[in-house]
């Protein structure tokens, strides 16, 4: 890390613990702020080493966050985050330093903004592109309530700032927000944190333009053109007053050919997002403008630590790690489903030249990163544009290709309309590979993949599957490869793959057929487990002796469910316990209930275990399963209760 700033007379040896609110930050002399920045970086790195979390994004916004809190009072003004994974410095400056050691742990503070934690957090946010639109809404609402900033009538009114970065600006919702922001006719500041990255390298034409702007001398705006430029952008008498209110530092930032100015925003930048004194000067000037402004700042993702700067993708959101001299050792817990998927998709791509694959800004997270190099013409990254990615896959399917779209379950939600209109309705063979399905651990409620079955099961002829281990994941992909006339889906968790059943033969996937894992003679209860819940169910079986006879099935399909198996069991009076790492409404258990009811079977014999209808907080995945009642102990208890039902009947 870069060397800490020297101590200053009259200040404590450690400043950060004394900042209980942003008021304490604003009470500091400006020359103390580099020390605060150094302490924030050290605090974040030390904590992420222990708990995992978003490292590089937060290291890159330290000075920017300090400057925003130094100029604005977000106890009254409004700060809207985009994605939210760059909020750690903000948390440390808003009274959460003492609890920072609980980051992402059960009962601790979230890794994302959380209104339940602090009045300085307006939204619990973890998806991209939303900050500008929510900022527009807040600005309009404040104006309607006569609370918004007005330089003449309400100079103490609420000011609004949207902080957007990590390539979220290219998201479609962000474009819609910009389109509205330029029409507001009041103060709103959009801060574009441009680090040239999303999770990995930024994609698309806008990314190329921003790259050019960072190195383009004409874009920096020579002072001799600034006055004329202001006239073109702003027009009228406002030009003179605005131009003369700007210092040289701000005049030089007026953008000569700003693309954003075409949305109606006064555009400044790019400027160095780590230059605290200049950031503060410029923010103080734009904070009092009664106009929409976009400030383009250039930051370095991972700033302050050479290992994070040098490999910002790897250290975007690492697992706990250890610094060993010049080496960084990241904790490993076994083979992940993501790695298993990557290898399995490579195999089918090698066997079938018609297969193409894409991801939306998550090549590392979904396992596509090595395939981008191996299949440069058949694998690609669309950037943070899930809707665009889905429609692109639909287009490729129409052109005769066999597309696979690897996406986190939580981000699939952003492309449901396209899955409906451009894929399922058209009868096109697009294959969705849903990583991070179910409970996700430390990222918490913003990232749980708990509704993919619910939203996709409504689509006619869709085929919905879940993988319980690596052989079943491979089997699902192979079946999907052949489904050219419908939407098909496989879901799998953020977890390690189990080898509990890997020694046996994994039969091929047949649409609507479950796989028996443990078959008891004349069973007292049958467990139908969807996906990795089969492993928890298998662990539950170890808790029984000869007093309860249990059959266990890997359900495999949530659409269509195995109606023949349901009929066989329920017609014989065998109670069924369904288990899934998915939400209760509309999930696999609901599909089983509906199928049983449609066949005239006794649905009273079905017990459903799933993620309950409440928001599940961050913490360890095992703790979350226990809290949801879908761990081995809860399954065993449900099986015992179901066994007594059969006796009564």
Rounded CA-CA distance 438/416 in Å is 18
pLDDT in tens, 126-180: 999 999 999 999 999 999 999 999 999 999 999 999 999 867 888 889 999 999 9
In the predicted model, is pLDDT for residue 598 greater than 60? yes
Integer CA distances (angstroms), 515 to 5, 184, 507, 511, 556, in order: 63, 58, 8, 11, 7
Asked if 301 is an active-site residue, the reply is: yes
Q: What pLDDT was estimated at residue 316?
A: 87
User: Between 165 and 526, whose confidence is greater?
Assistant: 526
Determine what percent of the chain is predicted with pLDDT higher than 70: 89
Specify burial of residue 90 (Cβ count, 10 A radius: 0-12, 13-18, 19+).
buried
Rounded CA-CA distance 70/156 in Å is 16
DSSP 449: B
- Identify the H or E element spanning 309: helix 306-310
**Residue 583 in 3-state DSSP?**
strand
Which of 117, 386, 422, 580 is catalytic? The answer is: 386
* pLDDT range class, residue 206, cuts 50, 70, 90: low
Domain 515-648 has CATH 3.40.1190.20: no
User: Between 309 and 448, whose confidence is greater?
Assistant: 448
pLDDT in tens, 247-291: 766 766 776 557 788 888 999 989 999 999 999 999 999 999 999
In the predicted model, is pLDDT for residue 406 greater than 70? yes
Q: Which CATH number is correct for 337-491, 3.40.50.970, 1.10.3720.10, 3.90.1150.10, 3.40.50.300?
A: 3.40.50.970
In the predicted model, is pLDDT for residue 212 greater than 80? no
In the predicted model, is pLDDT for residue 205 greater than 70? no
Do residues 158 and 73 touch, judged by C-beta distance below 8 A? Answer: no
Q: What pLDDT was estimated at residue 511?
A: 98
pLDDT in tens, 339-366: 999 999 999 999 999 999 999 999 999 9
Dihedral angle, C-alpha 522, 526, 531, 537, nearest 10 °: -90
Name the phi and psi angles at 96, rounded to 5: -115, 15
Q: What pLDDT was estimated at residue 260?
A: 86
pLDDT in tens, 506-522: 999 999 999 999 999 99
Q: What pLDDT was estimated at residue 333?
A: 82
Pinpoint the residues of the chain covered by CATH 3.40.50.970.
Answer: 73-85+111-301, 337-491
Specify burial of residue 417 (Cβ count, 10 A radius: 0-12, 13-18, 19+).
exposed
In the predicted model, is pLDDT for residue 605 greater than 90? yes
In the predicted model, is pLDDT for residue 553 greater than 90? yes
Q: What pLDDT was estimated at residue 204?
A: 53
Q: How many residues does the chain have?
A: 649
Closest C-alpha among 86, 115, 111, 127 to residue 449: 127
Nearest-5° Cα angle at 182, 119 to 246: 85
In the predicted model, is pLDDT for residue 237 greater than 60? no
pLDDT in tens, 562-584: 999 999 999 999 999 999 999 99
Mean pLDDT, rounded, of the chain: 90
Q: What pLDDT was estimated at residue 444?
A: 95
Rounded CA-CA distance 136/141 in Å is 9
Which of 414, 431, 556, 559 is catalytic? The answer is: 414
Q: What pLDDT was estimated at residue 645?
A: 78
**Residue 43 in 3-state DSSP?**
helix
Pinpoint the residues of the chain covered by CATH 3.40.50.920.
Answer: 515-648
In the predicted model, is pLDDT for residue 523 greater than 70? yes
Q: What pLDDT was estimated at residue 314?
A: 87
* pLDDT range class, residue 222, cuts 50, 70, 90: very low
Q: What pLDDT was estimated at residue 249?
A: 66
Determine what percent of the chain is predicted with pLDDT higher than 90: 79
Asked if 386 is an active-site residue, the reply is: yes
Q: Which CATH number is correct for 73-85+111-301, 1.10.150.120, 3.30.1450.10, 3.40.50.970, 3.30.360.10?
A: 3.40.50.970
pLDDT in tens, 9-31: 578 999 999 999 999 999 999 99
Do residues 420 and 373 touch, judged by C-beta distance below 8 A? Answer: no
206: left (phi over 0), alpha (psi -120 to 50) or beta: alpha
Which of 41, 78, 104, 301 is catalytic? The answer is: 301
- Sequence-ordered list of residues with C-beta below 8 angstroms from that of 287, at least 6 positions apart, any chain: 71, 72, 159, 187, 189
Do residues 195 and 211 touch, judged by C-beta distance below 8 A? Answer: no
Tell me the average pLDDT across 72-92: 96
Start-to-end Cα distance in the chain:
69
pLDDT in tens, 373-405: 999 999 999 999 999 999 999 999 999 999 999
DSSP assignment of 615-637:
PPPSS-HHHHHHHHT-SHHHHHH
Q: What pLDDT was estimated at residue 646?
A: 64
Tell me the average pLDDT across 616-627: 97
**Residue 303 in 3-state DSSP?**
coil
Rounded CA-CA distance 649/57 in Å is 59
Q: What pLDDT was estimated at residue 211?
A: 52
* pLDDT range class, residue 7, cuts 50, 70, 90: low
**Residue 270: cis peptide before it, omega within 30 degrees of 0:** yes
Strands 188-194 and 160-165: parallel
Q: What pLDDT was estimated at residue 9?
A: 59
């Amino acid at each position: 890390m870069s060397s800490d700033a020297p101590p200053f007379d009259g200040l404590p040896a450690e400043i950060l613990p004394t900042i209980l609110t942003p008021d304490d930050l604003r009470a500091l002399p400006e020359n103390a702020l580099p020390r605060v920045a150094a302490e924030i970086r050290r605090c974040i790195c030390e904590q992420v080493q222990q708990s995992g979390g978003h490292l590089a994004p937060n290291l890159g916004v330290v000075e920017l966050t300090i400057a925003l809190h130094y100029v604005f009072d977000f106890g009254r003004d409004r700060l809207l985050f985009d994605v939210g994974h760059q909020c750690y410095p903000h948390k440390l400056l808003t009274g959460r330093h003492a609890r920072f050691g609980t980051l992402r742990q059960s009962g601790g503070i979230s890794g994302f903004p959380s209104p339940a934690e602090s009045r300085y957090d307006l939204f619990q946010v973890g998806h991209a592109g939303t900050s500008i639109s929510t900022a527009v809404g807040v600005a309009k609402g404040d104006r309607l309530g006569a609370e918004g900033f007005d330089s003449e009538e309400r100079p103490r009114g609420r000011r609004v700032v949207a902080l957007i970065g990590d390539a979220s600006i290219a998201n479609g919702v962000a474009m819609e927000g910009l389109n509205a922001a330029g029409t507001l006719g009041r103060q709103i500041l959009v801060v574009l944190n441009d680090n040239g990255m999303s999770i990995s390298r930024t994609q698309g034409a806008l990314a190329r333009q921003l790259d050019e702007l960072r190195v383009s001398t004409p874009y920096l705006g020579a002072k001799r053109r600034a006055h004329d430029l202001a006239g073109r952008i702003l027009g009228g008498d406002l030009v003179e007053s605005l131009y003369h209110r700007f210092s040289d530092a701000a005049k030089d930032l007026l953008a000569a050919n700003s693309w954003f100015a075409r949305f109606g925003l006064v555009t400044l930048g790019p400027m160095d997002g780590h230059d605290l004194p200049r950031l503060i000067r410029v923010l103080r000037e734009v904070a009092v403008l009664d106009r929409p402004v976009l400030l383009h700042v250039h930051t370095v993702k991972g700033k302050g630590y050479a290992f994070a700067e040098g490999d910002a993708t790897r250290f975007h959101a690492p697992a706990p790690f250890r610094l060993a001299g010049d080496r960084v050792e990241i904790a490993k817990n076994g083979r992940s489903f993501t790695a298993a998927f990557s290898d399995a998709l490579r195999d089918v791509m090698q066997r079938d030249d018609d297969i193409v694959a894409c991801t939306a800004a998550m090549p590392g997270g979904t396992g596509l990163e090595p395939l981008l190099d191996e299949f440069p013409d058949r694998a690609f990254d669309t950037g943070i544009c899930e809707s665009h990615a889905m429609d692109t896959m639909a287009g490729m399917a129409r052109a005769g290709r066999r597309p696979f779209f690897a996406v986190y379950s939580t981000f699939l939600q952003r492309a449901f309309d396209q899955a409906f209109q451009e894929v399922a309705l058209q009868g096109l063979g697009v294959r969705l590979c849903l990583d991070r399905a179910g409970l996700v651990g430390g990222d918490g409620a913003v990232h749980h993949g708990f509704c993919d079955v619910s939203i996709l099961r409504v689509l006619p002829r869709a085929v919905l599957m879940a993988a319980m281990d690596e052989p079943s994941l491979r089997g699902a992909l192979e079946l999907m490869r052949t489904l050219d006339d419908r939407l098909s889906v496989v879901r799998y968790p953020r977890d390690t793959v189990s080898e509990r059943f890997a020694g046996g033969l994994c039969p091929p996937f047949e649409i609507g057929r479950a796989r028996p894992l443990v078959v008891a003679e004349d069973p007292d209860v049958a467990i139908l487990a969807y996906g990795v819940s089969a492993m928890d169910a298998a662990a539950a079986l170890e808790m029984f002796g000869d007093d309860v006879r249990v059959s266990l099935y890997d359900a495999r399909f949530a659409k269509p469910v195995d109606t023949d198996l349901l009929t066989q069991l329920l017609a014989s009076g065998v109670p069924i316990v369904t288990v899934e790492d998915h939400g209760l409404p509309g999930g696999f258990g609901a599909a089983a209930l509906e199928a049983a009811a449609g066949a005239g079977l006794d649905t009273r014999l079905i017990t459903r275990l799933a993620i309950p209808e409440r928001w599940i907080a961050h913490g360890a995945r095992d703790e979350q399963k226990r809290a949801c009642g879908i761990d081995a102990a809860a399954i065993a208890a449900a099986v015992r209760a179901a066994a007594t039902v059969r006796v009564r009947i």
